[in-house]
Chains A and B, each alone.
Chain A
Amino acid sequence: MNSENTAAIEALDVAKHFGQVEAVKGVSFCVNAGEIFGFLGPNGAGKTTTINMLTGLARPDHGRISYFGRDYTANLKKAQHLMGVVPDESNLYPEMSGLDNLSFCASLYGMGKKERETRSRELLASFGLTDASKRAFGGYSRGMKRRLTIAAGIIHHPKILFLDEPTTGVDVASARRIRELIAGLKSSGTTVFLTTHYIEEAQRLCDRIAFIVDGRIVRMDAVAELLRQTHGKHVVELTTSGSLTQMREEVLRGFSNVEFEFPADNILRSITEQALALAPLIRFLEERGIAVTEARAVKPSLEDVFIRVTGIEVDRMKKEKEKKGPQ
Chain B
Amino acid sequence: MKQWIAFWNIFSKDIRTYYLKPPNLSWGIIFPLAWTLMFFIRSGGDVDLFALLPGVMTMSILFGTTSLLSVTITFEKKGRSFERLLLAPISLEYLMLAKTSGAIMFGAINAFVPLIIAAFIVDLGAVSWALLICGVVLTSVVSTFLGLFIAVAVSEVFEAQTFSNFFRFPMVFLCGLFFPIERLPVFLRPLSYVLPLTYGGDILQGAVNQSALMPSALSLAALVVFCAGLFLLSVRTIRVKWIC
Contact = CB atoms under 8 A, between A and B. Distances in A.
B240 to A, nearest CB: 10
Given A89-B80, A96-B17, A55 B1 contact: no
Given A80-B88, A80-B89, A104-B13, A58 B244 contact: yes
A110 B1 contact: yes
A112 interface: yes
Chain B contact residues: helix, strand, loop or mixed: helix
B90 A91 contact: no
A57 B2 contact: no
Interface string B82-93: 011111111110
Nearest to A89: B80
Given A81-B1, A91-B79, A93-B17, A108 B243 contact: no
Chain B contact patch, size range: 20 to 34
A87 B83 contact: yes
Given A95-B17, A109-B88, A56 B243 contact: yes
A85 interface: yes
Nearest to A81: B89
Interface in A295-327: 327
Contacts of B13: 93, 96, 104
A55 B79 CA distance: 19
Contacts of B79: 91, 94
A92 B90 contact: no
Contacts of A152: 84
A95 B84 CA distance: 16
Contact of A110 (B2, B80, B244): B2
A54 B36 CA distance: 54
Q: Is the interface of A mostly helix, strand, loop or mixed?
A: loop
A108 B244 contact: no
B128 interface: no
B122 interface: no
A91 B81 contact: yes
A62 interface: no
Contacts of A110: 1-3, 5-6
Interface in A45-95: 55-59, 77-78, 80-81, 83, 85, 87, 89, 91-95
B243 A58 contact: yes
A236 B130 CA distance: 87
A291 interface: no
Contacts of B5: 107, 110-112
Contacts of B6: 107-110
A238 interface: no
A160 to B, nearest CB: 12
A104 B89 contact: no
A94 B80 CA distance: 11
Nearest to B18: A95
Interface string A93-124: 11110000000110111111000000000000
A270 to B, nearest CB: 46
B89 A91 contact: no
A56 B86 CA distance: 8
Contacts of B8: 107
Range class of the A interface residue count:
20 to 34
Contacts of A105: 84
Nearest to B86: A57
B202 to A, nearest CB: 40
A87 B85 CA distance: 13
Interface string B53-69: 00000000000000000
Contacts of B243: 56-59
A91 B86 CA distance: 12
B165 interface: no
Nearest to B9: A107
A93 B88 contact: no
B86 A108 contact: no
A91 B244 contact: no
A92 B81 contact: yes
A94 B79 CA distance: 9
A80 B81 contact: no
Contacts of A80: 87-89
Q: Which of A56, A91, A112, A327 has the most CB of B within 10 A?
A: A91
Interface of B: 1-3, 5-6, 8-10, 13, 17, 79-81, 83-92, 243-244
15 contacts: A56-B243, A57-B83, A57-B243, A80-B88, A81-B1, A89-B80, A92-B84, A96-B17, A107-B5, A108-B6, A110-B1, A110-B5, A110-B6, A152-B84, A327-B80
Interface of A: 55-59, 77-78, 80-81, 83, 85, 87, 89, 91-96, 104-105, 107-112, 152, 327
Given A93-B81, A109-B89, A152-B84, 7 more contacts: A57-B83, A57-B243, A108-B85, A108-B89, A109-B6, A109-B88, A110-B3
